[in-house]
Each structure stands twice: as C-alpha cells, then as structure tokens.
Amino acid sequence: MGGVALARPLYFWLGTLATVAGVVLHLPMYLHSAEMGYRLAGMPMDLPMTIGMVLIVAGLVVTAWGLVPPGAFTARPAAEVRVRALDDQKMRPAHIGLVVVMSVAVVIDAMKPITLGFVSPGMVAEYGLKSPLNPGGDVPVALLPLFGLTGTVLGSLLWGWLGDKIGRKPSILYAGVLFIGTAICGVMPSFEGNLAMCLAMGLGAGGMLPIAFSLLAETIPPRHKGWVMVLIGGNLAIAYLLASFLSATLAPEYSWRVLWLVGLPTGVFLILLNRFIPESPRFLLAHGRDAEAHAIMARYGAALTSGSGVERVQDEHEGGYSRLFRAPFTGLTVAVVILGLSIGLVTYGFQLWIPSNLRSLGLDQSAADRALADSTLLGLPLIFISAAMYGLWSAKKTIVVLSALVGAALVVLSFSGETLAQDRTWLYLLLAGPIVGTAAIAAVLAAYSSEIYPTRVRSRGSGLSAGVGKFGGVAVTGVLVAGAAAPSIGMTALLGAVPLVLAVIAVLVFGVEPAKGPAGAPAGTAAAQA
C-alpha cells in the first residue's frame, strides 16, 4: 500500500472482513423493520445481531494486531527526527494527488460527528427524547453529541499517540475499520446503545485532521502549506453538504438510521483510499525504515533538517501550556483561545441544532435538510476564497473578515431567526455564514496557530487552538444536557455571535502576521520576540 507494507497483512484483512461481516449481520433486523417505518426502539437483539457484535469486537482486536509493527513501542521516539519539505519546491503532481486524497479522507471523517445534528430529530421522535421538538421529554437528546464530542477529545489524544507509535497510515486504516464497526449505531434498539456507539465513533473521528496536517507538514512546500491546510480543513463544509444531502434524500424513506449505516461503505472506501496516502517519513526514519522514508521524501521533495537525520527538540516541554500565557505570547494566546471557543460554540451550539430548529419553525424534514444543503452549496466558494486570502493576502485580516461576516450573520439570526422561515432567500444566505464560514475559520485558525508560535512551543499552540474548540462544544452540550434551556435558533445564534465579536477585537489588538522567513519558517511578531 503506497510503498509501505502492513505489519501483518493477513491479520489486518481478516479483522477487517470480520468487522464488515459483523455489520452485515445487523442489517436483516433493520430491513425487516421496514413495515414499521424502521422503528427498532425496545426490540430485543436477535441471534444474528449478537453474533455480529462478537465478530465486530473480535475484528477490531485482530485488525489492531495486524497494524501494530513489531517493536512499535520500543523504537526510538519519532519526535527526535525532523523532516520538512524543501522551500524552493513547486507543487508536484504527487502533492496535488495527496491534497485531493486527504481532502476526501477528511470529508469522510468529518461526516461522522456532523451527522449527529441530522439524526437527532428522528431519534427524538423514536425514543421520546427532550429537544426543541419535544420539550417535555425526559432524557435529553443532547447526551448524544456530548458522548460523541467526548469521543473526539479522547480520540485526538489517542490518535496523536498512535500516529507516533504505529504510523500515520495504520492509524488512518484503524479509524476506517472503526467507522465500519460503529455503523451498527443505525441498528441499535436502545438509545443507550447509540450513546456507546457514538462514543466509539468519536474515538475514530477525533484524530484524522491532526494526522492529515502532520503529513502535509512533511510533504507540502512551506510557501504553499498555509493555503493547502485551509483548503483541506475547509472540507468540513463539504462534509456538511454531503450529510445534509443524504439526510434530505435518504432519511425520509429509510429513517434516520440509514445515516449511520452509510458508515459501512464510507469506511471501506477510506481503507481503500489509504493506498494513495504516504507514510510519514519522520515516522519511518525513527523506526529504522530508511529506504522507505527516502523514497517518499524523493517523491515529495522533502529532506532531513540535519546531515545525521536526527536532532533533539530543545525546550519542547519547558513550562507546559502555561508558557503560552506568558510574555510575549499572552495577548496572542488570548486571541487564539477566544476564537477557538467561538468556533466550538457555533459548531456544537448553532450548527448541531439547526436541523431541529428549522423543523421547529415549520419546515418538514426534507425541506429543512434541503435548505441546509442549499445554504452550504451557496457558501461553498467561501472556502476557496479563504484559502486564496490566507495564501495571497493576509492571515490576520482573513481571520478578522471571516469572523466578522459569520458574527454579523449570527447576530441577525439571533434577533430575526424565528421569522426567517417565511423568507427562504435570506434564510439561505444567513445560514451559509455559520455553516461554511465557521468551517473556514476553523481551517484558518488551524493553519494560523501552526505558524504564529516559534518551534519550541508550536505543538502546544496548535494543540491549544484545537482543544479549546472542543472544550467550547463540551461546555454548550453540557449546559443543554443539564436542561438549562431548549436550544432555540435565536439562543444558539447569540451564543456563537458574542464570542465571535470578541474574537474579532482580540485578533485586531493582539494578532500577528505570520511572515515567512527565508527558510519558510514563521517569523511573526510573537515568534520574533521569543
């Protein structure tokens, strides 16, 4: 696969086949429920489902054994090896191919948590859960995103560790198998079963974007890396478009459950896609696989940063994350934190509940989902515009412009969202901002935070920007689980608008422009002062 051999191919494929077979054994119960509108709530698990569950668990264990290379946990740490793309390299066909493939992988990955918002209305109706559509319910449907988001937080930590231990490709492969296994969420009779599968799904989805950016950092020429990262991160909007399209076209006929079952074909496709994804040269060198590493570096125009190929990262852990809040980074970090929190609040506050809130405004399921698909399609060019603005104009100004546009749209929605169902044109335009604009801001922030800090604290800076976004999501879903309020469209819009306005002010005051030095390394204000 892509010139990099699996550790134990036979075990990997046997485990994958067992997992696929386990999911397939769940399908008869789903198909037999067609006469009941695919309602499975309260039904006992039959024998094929029980056998399928055993096969999935066994398959995941065997697959993991097939992917872990011998000596993976005793080899020299990959952090000791430094690899980067050469500054004077042009974008080669290999680079373009990698961008396309990683974009598809990110879309498949991002569809999993995005689907939470689209399955919620159907789950509320089937399980009688508490939501904007059913304020009198007992168990809050917000538990579903809370479990999923918790899974992504844990997955970010797990996959970051696995990526260094077993490699980037095996980590992505295992995420694909996990996506296949958790497709049975669409056949779970109980809400509790859905929560467990949602947590497992989050574990698989949490680490894809960091792994993708790690590969890009070693293969994409530095002068192109910023806009490429924005473009790939912006595929979250395409994932939203596909999720809303599938919900509009399939869910009315096959129920909300089919949106989870698509994890089977997309997981298989993600596994097949790995054929075209290179392993990290940094990982290969750290594990003594020099020939494979040099072949990949030659293909992508990358090189070692020293003649020996190994250098220690000095001062990498001095002060922990607290170092980011001390001079000269204090103001800059405050801006990053506020912006990250605002992204989390919009994504898991406004975006997550907008399918339910549109139905509360009188739109049926198909009309609501198509409205979201059309709005996303309308705003999709913003991703490409954002990438061009970041690469050709100004990173700081791109953040300010995007945040201001999304903040303005949310302010309008917070005061007039309840009446916009009668004016579809304005509704579509205003929804495009929070849906596509937030994806663009998240992508820009990921690239920006990886460039504005000096090398010795850059990993912490990138981790902080990603972590606070998820913390914002945990906070807002925690409030909803506690039953503080039913998340109306006006409330969720205002909840995202306020921090975005504050983020604009913070970036204007404290933000720096990540100018590029001769070696392609960031030379922004904070980095220069450090």
Rg (CA), the chain: 23
> What is the average pLDDT across 281-290?
76
Query: Model confidence at 311, in pLDDT bands (50, 70, 90)?
Result: very low
Q: Are 318 and 326 in contact (CB under 8 A)?
A: no
Query: Model confidence at 78, in pLDDT bands (50, 70, 90)?
Result: very low
> What is the average pLDDT across 464-485?
73
Q: Which residues of 3-37 are buried (b: 16+ CB within 10 A; e: fewer)?
A: ebebbbeebbebbbebbbebbebbbebbeebeeee
Phi, psi of 304 (to 5 degrees): -75, 150
> What is the average pLDDT across 264-282?
85
Per the structure block, which two tokens stand in for 44?
């006992």
Other CB atoms within 10 A of residue 428 CB? 18
Tell me, what's the pLDDT at 320? 60
Tell me, what's the pLDDT at 148? 85
Q: What is the pLDDT of residues 438-472, one digit of tens each?
A: 889 988 888 888 777 775 666 567 667 777 777 77
Could you give the CA distance from residue 503 to residue 312 in angstroms, rounded to a whole number?
Answer: 36
Could you give the CA distance from residue 228 to residue 220 in angstroms, rounded to a whole number?
Answer: 8
**Beta bridge partners of residue 84, listed in sequence order:** 303
For residue 382, pLDDT beyond 60: yes
Q: Measuring CA to CA, which residue among 225, 96, 233, 83 is closest to residue 168? A: 83
> What is the average pLDDT across 5-31?
92
Tell me, what's the pLDDT at 60? 94
Query: Model confidence at 269, in pLDDT bands (50, 70, 90)?
Result: very high
> What is the average pLDDT across 489-503?
84
For residue 267, pLDDT beyond 80: yes
> What is the average pLDDT across 392-413?
90
Return all residues near 30 (Cβ < 8 A) that are at least 6 apart.
38, 40, 186, 187, 257, 261
Q: What is the pLDDT of residues 131-167, one digit of tens each?
A: 877 877 888 888 888 888 888 877 776 776 777 678 7
Could you give the CA distance from residue 530 to residue 512 in angstroms, rounded to a whole number?
Answer: 13
Tell me, what's the pLDDT at 28? 93
The residue assigned the tokens 């680490």 is 207
Distance of CA 193 to the CA centre of its chain: 23
Could you give the CA distance from residue 360 to residue 367 in angstroms, rounded to a whole number?
Answer: 12
> What is the average pLDDT across 352-357?
82
> What is the average pLDDT across 48-61?
94
Q: Which residues of 199-229 are buried (b: 16+ CB within 10 A; e: fewer)?
A: bbbbbbbbbbbbbbbbbbbbbbbbbbbbbbb
Ranking 90-104, 187-201, 296-310, 353-367 by mean pLDDT, the lowest is 296-310
Q: Measuring CA to CA, which residue among 218, 101, 232 is closest to residue 163? A: 218
Distance of CA 13 to the CA centre of its chain: 26
